[in-house]
Structure 1
Amino acid sequence: MDHYILAINPGSTSTKIAVYKNEDELFAESIDHSNEDLARCRGLRDQFEMRRALVFQALEKHDFDKSRLSAAVGRGGQLPPVKAGGYGVNEAMKRRIIQGPIIDHASNLGALLAAAVAEPQHIPAYIYDAVSSDELKEVAKVTGIPEIVRQSFCHVLNSKATARKVAAQMGGRYEDMNFVVAHLGGGISISAHEKGKIVDVITDDAGPFSPERSGSVPILYIVDMCYSGEYSKKDLMKKLRGMGGLKAYLGTHDCRRIEAMIQGGDEKAKLLYQAQAYQISKGIGELSPTIDGTIDAVILTGGMAYSDMLTDMVSKRVSFIAPVVVYPGENELESLAYGALRILRGQEPCNEYVDNYQEKEELFI
C-alpha cells in the first residue's frame, strides 16, 4: 500500500514542506518569510494563519490533491519533555502550544499546521522526535544545584534519523548500536545514542561555540556580566544566541566566507575555526564514557558537515574513539516523513500526548 505524506518544518524565517510517496520525495518547497511579513504577525495566531495559507498555496502550485494524503507530520516543538518518536496531534497538544507555558519557537507551529491540513481530510496528524524528547538516564539529569534538573534539548530529529541511516549502512539496527552524534549547524549539539535512545546530551548552550552561539562560557564570567549593569537580559541572550560564536569574532556566521578568509591568509579566522573544531572534539570525547566507550561510530552531521576543512580537523582528533562517519545536511523533512511512514506501516507506535493544561480560551484552529 502506498502512503502519501506531507512533511512540514516551520523555521524562524521560512516554512519548508515536502510530499513523499513512501520513501520517495515527490516535491519540496521552501517558503521564505520576509521581515515585513513577520512584523505584521502580532502573535501565534497571525503566524499560523499566514503559514497555513502559504502551505496550501504551495500544494496548489504543485497541483497536488490533498485528498491523496495518508498523513501530515510537523516538526515537534518545545513541548514539555516527551518520549522520542511520534505523537498524534490532539487537543491537549494544541492547547499547550497555543496557551503555554511553552518556549516561543517557530517549530511549535509544526503540530498546528499538520493538523490544519490533516483534519479536513480525516487523516492523522503527527509530530516526530520533538526537540524536547527526553530519554536521558537519571544520572545524566543531576546538576550541582538541586533546584536545576538537566533536560534534554538537542537536534533530536536529524541526529536520530542520521544514526538510523549509518546503522543500516553498517549492516545493523539503530536499536542495537551505539553512536556519538555531533549536529553541526547554527547551533551545535552532541548526543550519546545507546541502543536506540539518546541517553545524554551536550546542548547548544553547554558545549562548543558555533557560528552564531556562544556555547559554554565559564559561569562566573556570566554572573559578573549579569550584575555589571551594562547588559539587559535581552542583550545577554543575544550574546548567547544570535550574536555569539564566530559571528561575534569575525562579523559573519557564514562558514564559506570564513574558509575563504582562512585561505586568504587570515590568521585570526584560522585560529577561531581551529578552536571550534577543538571544542567539538572535546564534546565528543566528553560523551564517550557515558556509553562506556563502546561506540560503533562517531557521526558528524548538520549543515556545517559539508565543510571538509572542519570535519577533517574534528576527525583527526576523535578517530581514536571510533570510526568517523560524515553525513552532511539536516534532512529534516525526510526524517519527519520517514518517521510518519514507520507509524503508518505499524513499525512504530503512535504515542498519545497527555497534558494537564488549564483552559483559558477557545482554540483558533
Structure 2
Amino acid sequence: MSTDLAFRSEIREWLVQAPRPAGLHDYGPTPTPDDVQAGRAWQRQLADAGYACLHWPRDRGGRQATVAEQAAFAEECALAGVPRQFHLVGPDLAGPVLMAYGSADQRDTLLEPIRTGEHLWCQLFSEPGAGSDLASVRTRAVPTDDGWVVDGQKVWTSGAADAQYGLLLARTGGPGHGGLSAFVVPMNLDGITVRPLVQMNGESKFNEVFLDGVLLSPEALIGVEGQGWAVATATLGRERLSLGSNAVGMLKALEEITAAARSRGRLGDHLKAGVTDAWLGVWLLRSTWERAVAEGTEPGGPAFSVLKVISTTTYQAIGDLGMEALGLDGLTSELDEPLVDRMLVAHAQTILGGTSEIQRNILGERILGLPREPKP
C-alpha cells in the first residue's frame, strides 16, 4: 500500500502514548449518549496533536492529508481500539460542505468548534418517505421577512439527541432536485423535538427529529436557495473511507467466533468453512480498499460503492457465524455479549450509509453503462 510509512509510524507512536479518556472505546462513526463525554475529550486531544480533521486545509487546522494518509490513520485507530474522531457528521460532512458552500461568517464561526470537538453535528436528511430517494424530501422551509420557517420530520438521525447543530436538507421550491436547499440548524431552537430510537442491541444512536414552526435566520441558508442537491451530494460517501479499517474489527471478530465455538465444542466442518469464507471476504475487502486508496479514488466514487457492498455482506455473514458459534447460548445471552451485539448491528449494515441496492445501481449505471433506474 502506497502510504507514507513515516506518517503511519508517527501515528502509531502517538496512539501508544496518548492518554485515554475514561470510558473511551471504538464506538464507530457515531457515539451513543454515554460515549459523548469521552469522545469529545478524545477529539480535543486529536486537535491538540494535529490529528483532527486530517483532510481539512491547513488554514483550518487540518493537514491536507491524502486519501492514503487518512486511510492509514483510520486503520491505526482501529488497531488501537479508539475512534478516529468524535463523530462522522461534523468533520467529514458538515465541515467540507461549509468550506465549499458556506458564507465567510459560517466558516469562521462553525468550523473550529467542529475540529476541537466542542460542537457535535447531526445530518437532517432522511425522512420516513425519503431515505434512499432524497429528491423526495418533503420537509419544507418557507421564506419570511425574518428568515425561514421549517416544518417537517426527519428520521435515522445519528447523534441528534446530543447535537448542537444539524445540517438540514429542506424543500424551498418545487418537486425534484432543484427545489431543495440546505441550512444550518441550531438544535436548541424552539419547535425541535428529538426522540431517540432504541435499536435491537439496546443502543440509541438514531433519532426521530420533528421540526414544527422552527424559525431560522436568513444566515442559516448554506450557499444559495436551490443549491441543496449539490450540498447533499457533496456530503455523501466520506463515511466509506474507513471501510478498510473495518477489516481490523472483522478479523478480531473471527478470532472471537473461533474461540467461542471451540470452547463450546461447536467448531465443526460447517463452521470452519464459514469462517474461512468470511476470512477470505475480509481480505478481499481490505485489498480492494487498499487499491482504491492507492489510486487516490475519492470516497464518493464508484470504487467505494464496491467496498460498501463487500463490507456489509461480509459483516452480516460474520454476525450469522457468531450466532452459530454460540448455539443455544446465543438465545439466552445478554445484549452486551459481543457476538450477539455484532449480529444485531449487522442487520442495519445494508441500509445505513447508502443501501446496497443504491450502490448496485451506481455501479450498474456509472461503471457498466446500464440504463438508468426508471423514475416513477
TM-score by length of 1: 0.25
* Larger strand share, 1 or 2: 1
TM-score by length of 2: 0.25
